[in-house]
Amino acid sequence: MARQKLSHFDAAGEARMVDVSAKAETQRTARAHAFVRMSRATLRALPDNPKGNPLEVARFAGIQAAKRTSDLIPMCHPLMLTHVDVRVTLKRDGVLIETEASTTGQTGVEMEALTAASVAALTVYDMTKALDKGMTIEQLELLEKTGGKSGTWRRSKPV
């Protein structure tokens, strides 16, 4: 199998920000998710959390994180996001976080969708850790991306 050259490294192997100036602007979207596994007792206690509604705070944190991705991930380009959505849903064994990000630009929004999901999950953990320090953050995954030269990619089977 041929080894793919990674664009975030120059000829000398040094990390660099990719020059996207020659790329065409296209509509780009990405969807991601994360899951915060917790006990059923913790799930039942979420509405009574003295810190406030952890699900709503997590939703806002995810949106803010998507907008700040380039501040957190060194080689990410700052993007003018046209839309970010974070949905937080209670499930039987935890909290499912689903995110979407979009822009019209020269580079994709996969990292923004993933950052939104991860920070929202960390926020759920932070706001409920007094109840359950054994929670786990699982299944941080890119589900789909559209736009750009490579077109559409979808995860065949979300884990």
Q: Please list the active-site residues.
A: 126
Report how far residue 109's alpha carbon sits from residue 124's, in angstroms, rounded to the nearest whole number: 23
Q: Across the chain, how many H-helices and E-strands are there?
A: 4, 5
User: Which has the closest alpha carbon to 145: 132, 135, 136, 155?
Assistant: 155
Residues 20, 148: contact at Cβ < 8 Å?
no
Question: Which ranges constitute the DSSP H helices of the chain?
Answer: 40-45, 54-67, 69-72, 110-128
Specify the DSSP class assigned to residue 22: T
Burial of 51 (0-12, 13-18, 19+ CB in 10 A): exposed
Report how far residue 46's alpha carbon sits from residue 156's, in angstroms, rounded to the nearest whole number: 33
The length of the chain is 159
